[in-house]
Chain A
Amino acid sequence: MGPRALVASCADWAVICTGRPPSAEVAVIAGNRVVAVSPAARAAGARTGMRRREVQSRCPDLEVVARDMAAEARSWEPALAAVEAFAPGVEVLGPGRLALGARGPSRYFGGDAPLAAKVAAAVQAVVAGMSFGSGEAGDWTGCCRVGVADGLFAAALAAQLAPLGQPLVVPREASARFLAPLPVRVLAGAELSTLGELPGTADIAALADLLVRLGIKTLGDFAALPAASVLGRFGTDALVAHRLARGLGGRSLQGRLPPPDWMVAADLDPPADELHAAVFVGRALAEQLHARLVGSGLVCTRLAIEAQTEYGTSLRRSWRHDGALSAAAIGERVRWQLEGWAQSGQYGLNAQSGQSAQSSQPAQPGEPGERGVGAAVEAAQAGRVTRLALVPEEVRPDDGRQLGFWGSDAGAAARAARALARVQGLLGPEAAVTAVLQGGRDYSEQVVLVPWGEPRTPLRPVDGLPWPGRLPGMAPAIVHHPALPAQLMDKDGGPISVGRRGGASAAPACLVIGQGKPLAVNAWAGPWPLEERWWDGGGRRRARLQACTADGAAYLLACEKQRWWVEATYD
């Protein structure tokens, strides 16, 4: 007999987490098969396991949504936290399903039925708190079914069979009797494959099929067979299934440990009048956070700094660092960030604080001089800082950091990183970037800008793909965003067009950029057609041309819909 277990299951979770009300006809599809349908779609004849075409033919108004496992798991997390709040040792069976060792909590709450009702209510409260497009959150009542039984297998089946809005509690030592009338095909059900009780689904499906053909229709019939014969005839996998059918065995639950909350925060009472007072608190918080992380063998790679002012404004900014952030580095970032917030709109070379000796000086209200007055006004508008918090957003095990072996000057890199972190504190993390080359046809497509500190990964590989239409030769030193409007004319002043076959109507002789002076064209080449993404709707068709003007400048021009643009300048 397995341990007493409780299983709560929201069969429609894949639909619920998309934010649709139950009255909408929705099907969630993965790999061309329906994996979940909303109650309205089910009423219209849609079933899980159908193909997309089939379900659309039954239910023409159906909205088809691709499955997003990550979103399902993410949105299930609050429900787990809600149950964990009163019963420890929750095991996640999958998005929308959880298991709980029922013995202790049910004694505490006065029986299995009250516990089951409490779990269902907790999950329902989370569902009701989610936002649905039309505000019909209440319609999902009863979406969570709860079953309690001896053994995880029986509990999961009980949850599946529970009537709507009412938990199904199988009495103690009655699991075998509960299971006996169920058809033997439930062994192969997809719902049970995630329990971790049975071996591969394909083998069990084949076994269930074979048992039915042998005339063994129910789990009771299967359980009545002698175990030795089952082992001899069907193998070890079948023996596991046989034990489950008899209501025996089953693994013990492995409850998860709630994820630790690493946030450190401090309330400033009275509010910090001066910047360095807030910085001082921030340093202490940094030390505290670092000690806690080191104690757990972790390092922080992304950190959010949050501040609240007395007028209720809350400021937040994330800092990223590819290596470990030490206590001093965390403290530095806190200082930069507070300075950046205090100086926003206020700048000047004197406000620099590269050295720690200067660190407490800038942007203090009441400081003499024009800039000090400005800072005081700024502080009065933003309010004084009342609360400071450091939230590690990404932590990983501290496995040290390997520096490059040859030729990398770690000192120079560290100095550059500190300077850039300061700039990020002033302007925001997206303001300081590095460039990564990637594949593409256009010069602007061939570069992706990543904020400093983020991983430098190109979106498309640089090599390996052909990119037809890419220009050879030298690249332009200035790429215009957006492109500048231009006119290209032949020697009689008539506009030049690019024909259907990609040829220019005449030799270009004169170029006018924007409202500028006409420039004589000395030499030119092209046009080269460039057709992008014609296979989906967002395609562009252009022809590009290089032109060199009499003043020595060279341009990359593009003709789109018979209008000319300067895309880049070879400066």
Chain B
Amino acid sequence: MVVSRGAFPGATSLALALLSGPCAGGSWCAVVGAAGLGLVAAAQHGLDLERVALVPSPGAKWPVVTAALLEGFDVVLVCPPARVDRSIARQLEARARERGSVLAVMGEAWPGSADMRLAIVSGCWRGLEGGHGYLWGREVEVEAAGKGAASRARRARSWLGGPFQVAVDGPAVLGAAGPGAGGPSFRSIAGDEATGRSRPQVGAAGLAG
């Protein structure tokens, strides 16, 4: 699964939100190569930092490190360097499939077509005015596209970030996701079920295992 930089910034928060669901459910998560990751934000997203391992600067050994972590962790989030070799990407994907883990990649560098690509297409900040207030949240629209069942791009609107989970005003789901798309899912994008439903289930089978 790839979390790419969309038209609107927020890929890091989206990745953290992605991790928070499995992490809160008792899974172990690892983050490779994100040296400047804001861990206070991670805790605010609901990650249990006791079950999050970080390898902030693996350097050129990131493929070995990622492969080792896929052996033992349910979700591994990787921030690879600018250029990723196609064969390394294949091998890592194969290992994740074999181990039943989820490999989440942040950034554009991943070659090939991932099972799922997430991007924020639009959004707006809340809390900041001309000279007063403070940032307390952001409303974003997330687009998910991928292979197989997820080949039809879907969009969902959600709250991202902030220590509070605020219900979205108005219709939560703007995209085409119907109620039939239920099942185990990442429930982290927002606190509300409707938005969670619209999340596709890539990796959910791996998380359950």
Contacts and interface: CB of A to CB of B under 8 A. Distances in A.
Interface of A: 347-349, 351-352, 354, 407, 409, 412-413, 415-420, 422-423, 426-427, 431-437, 443, 446-447, 449, 452, 456, 471-481, 504, 507, 523-526, 546, 548, 551-554, 568-571
B98 to A, nearest CB: 10
Given A447-B40, A571-B11, A525 B49 contact: no
B38 A436 contact: no
Given A419-B73, A437-B43, A546-B134, 7 more contacts: A412-B26, A419-B68, A419-B71, A431-B58, A432-B55, A443-B40, A472-B134
Contact of A552 (B26, B30, B70, B123): B123
Contact of B163 (A443, A474, A476): A474
Interface in B122-156: 123-125, 127-138
Contacts of A474: 41, 44, 135-138, 161-163
Given A473-B163, A524-B128, A420 B9 contact: no
B67 interface: yes
Given A477-B13, A570-B161, A416 B68 contact: no
Given A412-B26, A473-B163, A436 B135 contact: no
A477 B161 contact: yes
B134 A475 contact: no
Contacts of B198: none
Contact of A349 (B42, B88, B132): B88
A413 B44 contact: no
A473 B162 contact: yes
A571 B9 contact: yes
A541 B7 CA distance: 36
Given A349-B63, A420-B53, A423-B65, A415 B135 contact: no
9 contacts: A354-B68, A422-B71, A473-B127, A477-B41, A477-B161, A523-B129, A552-B124, A554-B128, A570-B135
A507 B55 CA distance: 40
Contacts of B189: none
B10 A475 contact: no
A91 to B, nearest CB: 45
A109 to B, nearest CB: 59
A433 B64 contact: no
Contacts, number: 198
A352 B56 contact: no
Interface string B8-47: 1111110010000000001110100001111111111000
A473 B40 contact: no
Nearest to B127: A473
Contacts of A352: 64, 67-68
B27 A546 contact: no
Contacts of B82: none
Interface in B55-96: 55-61, 63-65, 67-74, 88, 91-92, 95
B54 interface: yes
The 6 closest A-B pairs by CB, nearest first: A419-B72, A475-B40, A477-B12, A474-B162, A475-B41, A415-B72
A427 B136 contact: no
B77 to A, nearest CB: 12
Nearest to A336: B68
A507 B72 contact: no
Nearest to B140: A552
Contacts of A526: 131
A310 B88 CA distance: 35
Contact of B35 (A452, A456, A481, A546): A481
| Chain B: number of interface residues, binned into ranges | 35 or more
A473 B136 contact: yes
B50 interface: yes
A476 B42 CA distance: 9
Contacts of A415: 28, 71-73
A352 B72 CA distance: 14
Contacts of A409: 26
Interface of B: 7-13, 16, 26-28, 30, 35-44, 49-61, 63-65, 67-74, 88, 91-92, 95, 123-125, 127-138, 161-163
Nearest to B91: A349
A551 B26 contact: no
Contacts of B50: 434, 456
B38 A348 contact: no
B80 to A, nearest CB: 14
A474 B55 CA distance: 24
Contacts of A433: 53-56
A446 B68 contact: no
Nearest to B90: A349
Contacts of A427: 55, 58-59, 61, 65
A510 B198 CA distance: 38
A477 B91 contact: no
Q: Which of B8, B50, B51, B72 has the most CB of A within 10 A?
A: B72
Given A347-B64, A473-B163, A525-B128, A478 B74 contact: no
Contacts of A507: 130-131
B54 A435 contact: yes
Contacts of B40: 437, 443, 446-447, 475
B64 A435 contact: no
Given A434-B54, A443-B38, A423 B130 contact: no
A420 B72 contact: yes
Contacts of A426: 61, 64-65, 68
B54 A525 contact: no
B9 A553 contact: yes
B41 to A, nearest CB: 4
A417 B128 contact: no
B107 to A, nearest CB: 12
Given A471-B134, A473-B135, A431 B55 contact: yes
Q: Which of A415, A416, A422 has the most CB of B within 10 A?
A: A416
Given A423-B69, A437-B49, A546-B128, A449 B54 contact: yes
B27 A349 contact: no
Contacts of B49: 434-437
Contact of B38 (A418, A431, A477): A477
Q: Which of B58, B60, B68 has the most CB of A within 10 A?
A: B68
A412 B74 contact: yes
A433 B30 CA distance: 10
B52 to A, nearest CB: 7
Contacts of B125: 523, 548, 552, 554
A370 to B, nearest CB: 13
Contacts of B123: 552
B9 A551 contact: yes
